[in-house]
Amino acid sequence: MSTPAPPAPPRTGVAGNRGRQVRDTVVIRFAGDSGDGMQLTGSQFTLETALAGNDLATFPDYPAEIRAPAGTTFGVSAFQIHFGALDVQTAGDDLDVLVAMNPAALKVNLRDLRAGGMIVADTGAFNERNLSKAGYTTNPLEDGSLAPYQILKLDITKRTLETVQPFGLGQKDALRCRNMWALGLMLWMYDRDRQGTLALLEKKFAKQETLRLANIAALNAGHAFGETAEMSSGVLGYTVPRAAVAPGLYRTANGTESLAWGLLAGARAAGLKRIVFGSYPITPASGLLHQLANLRQHGVVTFQAEDEIAAIAGAIGASYAGALGVTSSSGPGIALKTEAIGLAVMTELPLIVVNSQRAGPSTGMPTKTEQSDLYQAIYGRNADSPVAVIAAATPGDCFEVAVEAVRLATKYMTPVILLTDGYLANAAEPWRIPDVDAIEPFPVTFRTDPAGFHPYVRDPNTLARAWAVPGTPGLEHRIGGIEKAYDSGHISYEPENHQKMTATRAAKIAGIANDIPLQQVALGEPRGKLAVVGWGSTFGPIHQAVKQMRERGHAVSHIHLRYLNPFPRNLGDLLQGFDRVLVPEMNTGQLVTVLRATYLVPAEGLNKVTGKPFKIAEIADALRIRLEAS
Amino acid sequence: MTAVATPREKLSPKDYASDQEVRWCPGCGDYAILKAVHKALADLQAPPERTVFVSGIGCSSRFPYYMNTYGFHTIHGRAPAFATGIKLANPDLDVWVITGDGDGLSIGGNHLLHALRRNVNLQIVLFNNEIYGLTKGQYSPTSRRGTRSPSTPLGSVENPVIPGAFALGAGARFIARSIDTTTPHLVDVLKRARAHIGASFVEVFQNCVVYNDEVFADFTEKTVAAERQLLVEHGKPLLFGAGKKRGLRLKPGALELEAVTVGENGVTERDVLVHDEKNRTLAAMLLGLQPPDLPVALGVIYCDPGPCYEEEVYRQIGSRAVSVADADLNKVLRAGQTWVVEG
């Protein structure tokens, strides 16, 4: 995320004949039917907002059904964006604005709107049929139930149909322009440009002139409506000043994109010729397969396998043959890969396993986020089969963590499990493009010398075995899942040898602790009353909550873990410096038990499994209770 | 990683054998197959450093340990998927998959299907003994109905899969069959399999002396071999039996094969079908022949090369020389909309 810095002076804008009010931060949610194009609307608003110089965070929230029956509450798709002049680290607690394209969207999302917040509703969609599908007996726009809010009632449907009428579209295509009308209005309301969206429409509909012109007309009409219409009192245009972010070249990136680029950067730093990415489609991990498939011209091979097992098997086969083998899935798919991860542990081959976690168990809630696969990552295999486990904290952090995963996998000849989640995979943020030439290379050396070779010859420092790749004369050897003799690599069932090999595999992974940075405190002092320890995508809300408490003078610190197995070697000492340790997690308490077991600290969990990220206030409240009680 | 063109001494079959003690049961058909593979590789002078044997789990899957080449003994049923990854990483490697009827057609049926369908350039050799050996004798997916085993004390009630027919249905473009102990025939079949570009599927009838002894004796025994084995050869008539007097022809009025005797009932050699290994329909009929009424077809039953998977993948990448290490990452990261925040 961007570095906090003094805000830039507010920009004064003029909207039509009315002045604009200045807002520091705003949270908007676009909500509609899953066929209404809300994800596109949200991502375009995000792009224009990034270009306007605000810091931002987003949260796409969509149903698992591709096209759920129109108008139903379970078919509602939403995209939330939090943007502002300040440092933005979460997608926002409460909504300032809810754009509701139909009654179901209002019904599902109203609970998140703050009192006094604004509802922009398409009255054209609030017909009897849609009201009844959403379970309303009376029209909430008319029955006074929305009194605590500002309501901007607009017949977006009618206005869109009028706008696109000259292009002669069918009713269905004409109605699909409604999202562009709404986007145009919101871009006007927050004083954003339309250039990025116009460019997108030009490209998207390059070969469909009528659709292109109709969508552009709808976008412009929504914008012009804001500019000229007499709106009901209290509805104004706003200005959100630019955020003071670190200078540099920026783009927007979600966690999936930065993870893909990080894998490429890591393989490049390792000097490897080839990435072979084996994957089987699964929500929310499939995006990585798509992203990497589009990097094939750089030497990335993607293998859409017949199942999760074949996907990891292909990746391990590729690593055996000297490529960087990577596989990716979500919890249920990782479960299927378990046996193969064990083989990679036994054969000591580099492998990266990305888990975009989702709500479970079983199929659970595929499109909803959770971080409940930590036990699975650390412990979830038969027998003693340790692997390295690391986690990304923000969408941009996925890049660095991916590079680190490649470094550890190749240097230690081990599987590395890289944890992200549905939130990180989909959430976008402005990302300062890193200087890739500054990434320290960690070149891989393949064994070529037959003298003294056997497949389990180890580097005395890392305990990693040699990477001896088929095609190398004189190094012909056999590996497999059967236990190997420490001194020859041949099959061995000797009792003492198995003891030694088990200990060696464990020591190799434990030794990684000497090769990773000491644990830093993300915010606050290295000792105090309360340490709030997190991992993964809870970074933003924990950070903001700790910041709020510190501003009130409390001795609370935020510690955020990237390395989950092994832990940084100073972590135990660091935790001992606090009276209490609180561990917020989107699970029922996994890191907290690992910390308690490892360090015998009285760590306490703060847990949430609703499929939605923590709100800042939820964590801040928990901190307040503990800080004020002690 | 490419082959080194330095002259090497001629390799003999035993040069392909590893120094490990072979641990199959005495009398197991796997010994004969191992010898045939050594012989085939020596005949081809296959470079050991570019040869990889990949296996799953089961008796047959111990095979790689006995080869003085690269070898990867993986997990149950998944060898074709590991092999696919190996070929994607380095298409220059000569990759053999060794599997069995349980490994390849039960737990790994899915992977076998997809490796064949994709047409990955592999030699897949399936040792079919119609039984689970390593787990002590349970019936397998190729066991015939009625097979009595520890897990089917009253006899199996399942229909067996015909491996070759499965392969054909999966889209295999090379299907051959041989018998463990008919070494010269097996060696020829293995050499043909290796010459084929794309996935080659070879079923070897392999005798398990401990749990399913003589299960193929009805066509492998010397006394019946001539009558019950049809050794197919491309372009040659489908003749079998003593003195090659028996032949196969299309049964008049039906889409099926029948056995006839040349010289009887006005049948001449011209009535006998000529083997065309590119003919998929003929292959389907040959794979379905069952003794005792009809002979078991052996040899290269189907061979009709098509585009191979890893070559197509690299065609889309542009070239095998394209390397991640050369990626213009700055360009990748700057593709699309970017903006500058001034300091």
Question: pLDDT tens for residues B289-300?
Answer: 998 899 999 999
- Total residues belonging to chain B: 343
Q: Measured between alpha carbons, how far is A414 from A345 in angstroms, rounded to an integer?
A: 6
pLDDT of A4 higher than 70:
no
Which helix or strand (DSSP H or E) is residue A607 part of?
Answer: strand A603-607
pLDDT value at position B90? Answer: 98
Contact list, A347 vs chain B (CB under 8 Å): 72
Contact list, A437 vs chain B (CB under 8 Å): 330
Contact list, B341 vs chain A (CB under 8 Å): 53, 245-248, 250, 432
pLDDT value at position A235? Answer: 60
Nearest residue, CB atoms, A299 vs list B2, B90, B323: B323
Write the pLDDT tens digit of every residue in B245-264: 999 999 999 999 999 999 99
pLDDT value at position A470? Answer: 98
Mean pLDDT across A339-366? 97
Mean pLDDT across A87-101? 94
Which chain A residue's Cα is nearest to B50? A471
pLDDT of A343 higher than 50:
yes
Strand order in the sheet with A113-122: A55-61, A76-84, A25-33, A95-100, A113-122, A150-154
E-state strands within A95-237: 95-100, 113-122, 150-154
pLDDT value at position A1? Answer: 42
Give B47 to chain A, closest Cα distance, Å.
Answer: 9
Contact of A295 with chain B, judged by CB distance below 8 Å, is answered with yes
DSSP state of B104: I
Query: Could you give the residue ranges of the DSSP H alpha helices within A176-327?
Result: 178-189, 195-204, 209-228, 255-269, 286-293, 308-320
Which neighbouring-strand residues pair with A536?
none
Q: Are A24 and A85 in contact (CB under 8 A)?
A: yes
Nearest residue, CB atoms, B1 vs list A275, A471, A482: A471
Least confident of A8-12, A463-467, B20-24, B188-192: A8-12
- Residue of A273, A291, A490 for testing the chain B interface, max B β-carbons within 10 Å: A273
* 3 state SS of B225: helix
pLDDT value at position A630? Answer: 58
Q: How many CB atoms lie within 10 A of CB A232?
A: 11
Q: What percent of chain B has pLDDT over 90?
A: 94
Write the pLDDT tens digit of every residue in A189-233: 999 999 989 999 999 999 999 999 999 999 999 999 988 876 554
pLDDT of A584 higher than 50:
yes
**Torsions phi, psi for A559 (to 5 deg):** -120, 125
CB–CB contact A470 B323 (8 Å)? no
Give the helix, strand, coil percentages of chain A, each rounded to 5: 40, 20, 40
Mean pLDDT across A114-122? 95
- Residue of B97, B116, B339, B342 for testing the chain A interface, max A β-carbons within 10 Å: B339
- Residue of A295, A320, A475 for testing the chain B interface, max B β-carbons within 10 Å: A320
Mean pLDDT across B328-336? 94
Give B125 to chain A, closest Cα distance, Å.
Answer: 18
Listed in sequence order, the residues at least 6 apart from B179 whose beta carbon sits closer than 8 Å to its beta carbon are B185, B186, B204, B205, B216, B220, B298
Mean pLDDT across A367-384? 97
pLDDT value at position A61? Answer: 86
Mean pLDDT across B44-72? 97
Listed in sequence order, the residues at least 6 apart from A29 whose beta carbon sits closer than 8 Å to its beta carbon are A78, A79, A80, A81, A95, A97, A98, A99, A109, A112
Q: How confident is the model at residue A403 (pLDDT cuts 50, 70, 90)?
A: very high
Which chain A residue's Cα is nearest to B113? A306
Contact of A433 with chain B, judged by CB distance below 8 Å, is answered with yes
Q: How confident is the model at residue A408 (pLDDT cuts 50, 70, 90)?
A: very high
Contact of A480 with chain B, judged by CB distance below 8 Å, is answered with yes
CB–CB contact A317 B81 (8 Å)? yes
pLDDT value at position A68? Answer: 80
Distance between alpha carbon B281 and the CA centroid of its chain, in Å?
Answer: 20
pLDDT of A425 higher than 90:
yes
**Torsions phi, psi for B89 (to 5 deg):** -75, -40
CB–CB contact B82 A314 (8 Å)? yes
CB–CB contact B325 A264 (8 Å)? no
pLDDT value at position B67? Answer: 98
Give A549 to chain B, closest Cα distance, Å.
Answer: 31
pLDDT value at position A5? Answer: 38
- Whether residue A361 is preceded by a cis peptide bond, meaning omega within 30 degrees of 0, is yes
Query: Could you give the residue ranges of the DSSP H alpha helices within chain B?
Result: 29-44, 79-89, 101-102, 109-118, 163-170, 183-195, 217-220, 222-228, 280-287, 309-317, 329-334
Q: What is the ipTM of this complex?
A: 0.97
CB–CB contact B73 A301 (8 Å)? no
Query: What Rg value do the Cα atoms of chain A yield, rounded?
Result: 27
pLDDT value at position A19? Answer: 73
Rounded to two decimals, what is the model's pTM? 0.93
Mean pLDDT taken over chain A:
94
Mean pLDDT taken over chain B:
96
Give B107 to chain A, closest Cα distance, Å.
Answer: 12
pLDDT value at position B336? Answer: 84
pLDDT value at position A543? Answer: 97
* The residue to which tokens 């092994």 are assigned: A566
**Torsions phi, psi for A415 (to 5 deg):** -65, 140
Nearest to B270 by CA among B227, B226, B229, B239: B239
**Torsions phi, psi for B79 (to 5 deg):** -50, -40
Nearest to A227 by CA among A10, A13, A12: A13
Write the pLDDT tens digit of every residue in A123-157: 999 999 999 999 999 999 999 999 999 999 999 99
* The residue to which tokens 């000849």 are assigned: A413
Q: Measured between alpha carbons, how far is A278 from B85 in angstroms, rounded to an integer?
A: 8
Write the pLDDT tens digit of every residue in A484-516: 999 899 999 999 999 999 999 999 999 999 999
Distance between alpha carbon B52 and the CA centroid of its chain, in Å?
Answer: 15
Write the pLDDT tens digit of every residue in A224-265: 998 887 655 456 789 999 998 889 999 999 999 999 999 999
pLDDT value at position B337? Answer: 84
Nearest to A40 by CA among A218, A164, A207: A218
Q: Are B83 and B95 in contact (CB under 8 A)?
A: yes
Mean pLDDT across A428-450? 95
Q: Are A93 and A78 in contact (CB under 8 A)?
A: no
Q: How far apart are the first and last CA of chain B?
A: 48
